[in-house]
Structure 1
Amino acid sequence: MKSLKLVILMLALLLVMVAIRSVSSAKEEDFMFDLDQDDSIAAEAENSDQLPLLESEQPISLRGTSRFLTEAARIKVTCDKYPTVCLAKGSAGKYCCKKKCVNVRTDRLNCGACGKKCRYSEICCKGKCVNPSSDRRNCGGCGKKCQKGSLCVHGMCSYS
């Protein structure tokens, strides 16, 4: 009985070793490349009108990068230098708080003014921190009013 367990254990170890060996040999094949093909790619890159990126702008990868997938570095525009960027269509909000465009009427971290945070159980509705589980004018969410005479309990009107 002990010898049978020993044989099964040895077979399991052998299978694990074979699996590890096959994975490592597959990784070694990834580093093989054709020098002629690499030279033709370099010649095409030299003939193109695009300027090469600086070494500090090159993307970093352990496997290397493709020359066709490289992009020029984009300039990051922040609202502290250009406040009108927050007024653009598709912006997150009209106000600049800590170098980010935010909507002070709905943002929990900047509710009503930059830096004014709502508590954990509160949300920002129209620039005011409210508790949606008990506020009759914002029951369960912003603008959801309960009817006259009903209470807001656990975010639902007239729960009981």
Structure 2
Amino acid sequence: MVIKRPNPFTKLALILFFLVITTFNPPHLGLADEEDPDFYDLDETPPILSNVAKSSKTRLLVSHYKRIRKGMRCHVEGYNICNGVWANNKTSLLHCCKKHCRNILGDKNNCGRCGHKCGFGQRCCGGVCTYVGFNPSHCGKCNKKCENGVKCEYGYCGYA
């Protein structure tokens, strides 16, 4: 039995292909991460903390967790601090997904609910997986509207 060695040019072509694919990440294809803030400023006190008796420990927790870091662990000192909490003037809705705070209105891996992933070319716009390549209301990214009569093509308004 003779084993044929692969052509070195084939190897090189495959390496270059994967290098280009992993480094080239055009935003109009929906592959780049949405511009999500590093911190969420809570619009309200987390319900679990507002229902707890106002001891000095809970007052400290409430004042400390008015601002939550993106991806922060949910369970702090026995309390779930981001379960259904609105943030950033009602533009973010935080839920505890796999022990971390996630914005289910804009996280493509937890869109609308924990664990619901958006497909290729989609972004999570307001909790709904949306194809942004040809959608005139979400052209290239969420909430980027094209002018009346202008088509959204390949993530750009009036591409052609």
- TM-score (normalizing by structure 1): 0.45
Higher strand share: 2
Ranked by relative contact order (alpha carbons within 8 Å, sequence separation 6 or more), the top structure is 2
Please identify the structure whose Cα radius of gyration is greater: 1
Higher helix share: 1
- TM-score (normalizing by structure 2): 0.45
